[in-house]
Chain A
Amino acid sequence: MIALRSRSVFPLTVAAVALLFLGLFLLYPVIAVFHVSFLDKTGAFTLDNYVRILGRSFYQQSLWNSLGIGALATLAATAVGVPLAFCLARLPVPGKSAILVLAALPLVLPSFVGAYALVLLFGRAGIVTHALQSLGLPTGSIYGTPGLVWVYTLTLYPYVLLPTLAAFKAVDVSIEEAGQNLGASRWRVFWTVILPVVIPSVLSGALLVFMETLENFGVPFVLAEDKPILAVEAYKLFVGEVAANSASAGVLATLLVACTTAALLLQRYYLGRRRFATGARTAPPELRVGHGLRWLATAFSWGVALAALLPFLTVLAIAFLEYRGPVLHPNLSLGNFADLWHRSSRPLVNTVTLATSAALGAALLGVPVGYVLTRFRSGLSSILDVVAMMPFAIAGTVLGIGLVVAFNSGPLVLTGTPVIMVIAYMVRKLPFNVRASSAILHQLDPSLEEASINLGVSPVRTFVQLTVPLMLGGIVGGMVLTWVTVASELSSTVILYSGPWATMTVVMFEALEGTGAGIAAAAAAVLILATALPLLLVYRLLRRYELAMT
């Protein structure tokens, strides 16, 4: 226990700053969205917006599509992630650590670039489609449900893989041996003992997948075509090519928040507590299996890891080929990059500036919050805990709309400034920074800090001079992850950016809508490199905290 009276200034200050920040830039905007959805044109209260929007089958369809495609993708990601986790935990698959490095990448690579790659390959004018057509073979459409489920599965399966892998490794081998000793076959032990023990981890990862699909904006924007999807329709209504309609957008945004919040609550408060700890000191040994199974497991593990990265590699390759108008020619060329650069180098600078500011800001706010949550238990810290996790439940689209609505007028006008973009990123990445820093703190004995205080260094100075250096590896890791995910952020960026502050993702987004296929590919390649390289550089730092992400 910590002496709250004598040391309460620090946690109170941190909690106050964090609650103020999130209250102003998360709660207030979200409430503003709710508020707008209940107003008519004169500003009076009405339920008309809901009646009107929900009465249209197009928007009803968008809700069912989002939920249905999310459910399918969740099932598929689970079907891929669980066997893969088992292969990596218990079967003799060569190159496991390499697979793990590769498998963690899709989580941070921009998923809409993956979707774009699919279009480049299998789309109407796709390379593979062309090739098949020229051979006179039939081609199916990847637009709509099949493409969305495919992309979601391959980019989100690590959410299931990582916790499930940890759970498989945490199964004490003696409970397996006990099962066998009591007369159960290996197969029976797997179904009756091991699987039930890991199920809570699987479900909790699966719900994260589901939430991500609901929130995702870029992938359906690229692949859904005329299939309505909640996050995309909310955006379209809000920016409205004909007439912007924030009330209608607010209705869809409210629906989206309701769905994601339900999923988050289920994940946190039901599954988060249903963990069976079996207290394994060492991971259970690899099973001895025959050659056939071994090959199968190896092919499957490497196959999944590579298939998930293939779209990104494709985009990288295509970016270095020559485009003449929309037609691709098989000549090596840096022309796409030259075009991208000549158009403007500003977006790249913007991306770097904004991502760096956001990474610094999120760490500056998130690390002290993580510290207070881990080291000071009080009523205030449980409120802080709930509020700091809320950004998880708010889709980028919703946050973007909310920030615009809230800071469009009044005493604090931020709409159109880069500040509002940085704020949106900080809010969205805060939960990750908080959890990453509390994960490290759980490994740091509190008596280290007490020893420092006992030796005459005040709590605040102890935090700065001892705790932060000890947490540094994790803090840097968290900042790099924040940086790369911000660099590829699309959903709130497209709503919040103003002309001169367009980012690389915006360039890609615009190129997708227009003609510049070559420029889009080059922009996508830059994004891939900008996210993958820093990650691989600090991979050692990150590995210890990869589970903090889920």
Chain B
Amino acid sequence: MKKIVIGIGFFVLAFTANNLALFSQIRQLAESDNSNYEYEMGKQLSHSLSPDCSILTGTIENFDGQKSFLQMQSLCSEKKSEQGLSVEILPAA
């Protein structure tokens, strides 16, 4: 009986240690992904701080699926403000 309890104890310990290591790896991967994403955004921002680009903010007022999404992409490219998305120029300073 004692051996079985010790065996289960070892199993639980090994299982927990293994999962902790796995969670730690997942967390590291997520952090790395996040840092890559942010780094890439910084790069694209740098490219955008040029005379042929404007940096804008927008608030999504309506959204009803893929059609609105495509419309929104178009609005965000053309700097317009229409139903479904309002767009304003972000102050540069």
Answer whether A and B are interacting partners: no
Residues of A near any B CB (own CB < 8 A): none
Residues of B near any A CB (own CB < 8 A): none
